[in-house]
Amino acid sequence: MSDFSPPQLERQLGMHAYLTASEGTGGTIKNEIEDFIVSEIPLLPAANERGNFVICRVTARNWETNRLVRELSRRLQIGRKRIGFAGTKDKRGLTSRYMSFEGVDEGVLRSIDIRDVDVEVVGRANRRLNLGDLWGNSFSITIRDCSYSGNRLAEVASAVISELKQTKGFPNFYGVQRFGSIRPNTHIVGRYIVKKDFRGAVHAYAGNPSGKENDEVRQARTLFDEGADADEVFSSMPDVMVFERILLSHLSEHPDDYAGALRRLPSNLLMMFVHALQASLFNEMISARIAEDLPLHLAVEGDIVLPINEHHLPDRGRLVSVSATNISAV
């Protein structure tokens, strides 16, 4: 465990410890959109030329997944449920992901014109893409403004890599982007939802301004926090804040119906809030494991592990509790 302490923001998200003791490279990521490039490694359904689902590779620049799906459904004039995807992606970056479109003409998909979005038809299948239909993601991340340069930078990076080889890996924390790059609070919304405090969830999402947002958005969020009528806040909230406006629109018609307002949001967005809470708890667990000097690459008694399936992915349907009798086989 390192003596270095993570920044306050990371600690708020459950990342309380560094594994390596070596000095880091310093620097920042995502200064530019192209500094963060991610491409899905797909696990596609079996190809079928007569299938009703068109499979596409969609490359987007600076598009959040739910807003992209909403825009695609609007342009294609189809319901959101006819669009499937394997994984959500960060907004700030150049992302390539696979999506399925039910009952949509291939020519229409090829001709769709959305700014900073490219749609490439790759085949057809008999079923939609669902969350988890991927092997993983590949990343190309540019780190700018490092603390060192040249040979010294290479030495620092090599020292970190050497430590990681000794520890057999690194803590797979969920990074800030899982919780919202500009306003990392999705786990807070998720906590309110799990506790059935729907008013708290709505206020955490539509209120709670961030200093990184523009003045217009901050002012609208502040109005909401200060108790202004939903109508007034709706009028102040910029059109681009689609999901905040959905919540406010519902509240303007049905005051105090916070549960109903949340139900107006896409189901996968609501799921994302709960997943963010799970991610923060996972980070807390990893931090505790580092603090107690427990291995990250080996199971210990009391752990719960998932066997891998034929695709070498976790089999979520099988939970194995590690004990003295089975630890040698884990």
Q: Which residues are catalytic?
A: 90
Question: In degrees to the nearest 10, what's the CA dihedral of 185, 220, 71, 280?
Answer: 0
Residue 62: HSE in the Cβ half-sphere, 13 Å Cα cutoff: 9
> Which of 101, 109, 129, 119 has the alpha carbon at shortest distance from 42?
129
Q: Which of 278, 248, 280 is nearest to 264 (CA)?
A: 248
Dihedral of CA atoms 251, 176, 178, 61 in degrees, nearest 10, equals: 90
Taking a C-beta distance cutoff of 8 angstroms, is the pair 43, 86 a contact?
yes
* Contact assessment for residue 97 and residue 40, using Cβ atoms and an 8 Å cutoff: yes
Q: Residue 321: how many CB atoms within 10 A of its CB? A: 10
Q: For strands 143-144 and 28-29, give the pairing.
A: antiparallel
* Token pair 């990076």: residue: 157
CA distance 280 to 233: 30
Range 262-266, long-range pairs (CB < 8 A, 24+ positions): 262/193, 262/198, 262/201, 262/202, 266/66, 266/69, 266/70, 266/80
